[in-house]
């Protein structure tokens, strides 16, 4: 058998162009195929990056809190009910801005517990801002608000309906020709 001499020739390393890296926007490494990458992880990373770009919160942002509200029509009035546990009446503002009803305020809750050899203090803060677009013709001069046991009820008189809905009968069979 003949001997064959094999020599290894090292080729110079080809440089790949690098993408510009921005602080806070490190891209995951995509070596090889994208078939092994979890698409949900890519989407989550994309959403986090977009939030970082477009949501510019102040350096010290107060905690946001969004109370549960219910809007319904009853007896010719728009009734807005907001559940505001731990909020005092003096910490709530209700006003009408154009065609919008605005509920805003702040919740400040402080708990303190002292026992022999034990001290526990807890503070909770949260601001809220809710706006409700009022229907056309709502009487904003007669808006009334009532606060009781952490529940705020705001009533806005609505205009009377000009025409009542009318049911239209549906006929079966061939279409009749109009005269």
Average pLDDT over the chain reads 78
The reply to whether 130 falls in a domain is: yes
The reply to whether 2 falls in a domain is: no
Q: Over range 15-40, report the average pLDDT.
A: 58
- Put simply, whether the predicted model's pTM sits higher than 0.75 gets the answer no
CB 46 within 8 A of CB 54: no
In 3D space, the residue among 91, 83, 75, 103 whose CA is nearest the CA of residue 148 turns out to be 83
Whether 85 shows a pLDDT value over 60: the answer reads yes
> What CATH number has the domain bearing residue 152?
2.60.40.790
Domain encompassing residue 130 = 69-157
Residue that wins the pLDDT comparison between 21 and 146: 146
**How far is the C-alpha of 58 from the C-alpha of 122, rounded, in Å?**
24
**How many domains, the chain?**
1
| pLDDT, tens digit (0-9, with 9 covering 90-100), for 127-163 | 888 899 988 888 888 999 999 988 999 999 988 766 6
**How far is the C-alpha of 91 from the C-alpha of 93, rounded, in Å?**
7
Residue 169: Cβ within 10 Å count: 4
Q: What pLDDT is attached to residue 148? A: 92
């Amino acid at each position: 058998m003949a001997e064959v001499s094999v020599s290894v020739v090292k080729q110079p390393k080809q440089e790949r162009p690098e993408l510009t890296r921005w602080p806070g926007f490190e891209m995951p490494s995509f070596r090889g195929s994208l078939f092994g990458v979890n698409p949900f992880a890519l989407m989550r990373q994309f959403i986090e990056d977009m939030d970082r770009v477009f949501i510019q919160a102040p350096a010290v942002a107060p905690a946001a809190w969004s109370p549960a509200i219910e809007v319904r029509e009853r007896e010719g009035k728009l009734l807005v009910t907001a559940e505001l546990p731990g909020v005092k009446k003096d910490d709530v503002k209700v006003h009408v801005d154009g065609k919008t009803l605005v509920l805003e305020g702040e919740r400040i809750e402080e708990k303190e517990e002292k026992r022999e050899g034990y001290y526990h203090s807890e503070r909770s803060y949260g601001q809220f801002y809710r706006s409700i677009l009022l229907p056309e013709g709502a009487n904003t001069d007669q808006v009334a608000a009532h606060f009781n046991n952490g529940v705020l009820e705001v009533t806005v008189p609505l205009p009377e309906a000009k025409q009542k809905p009318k049911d239209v009968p549906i006929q079966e069979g061939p279409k009749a020709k109009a005269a």
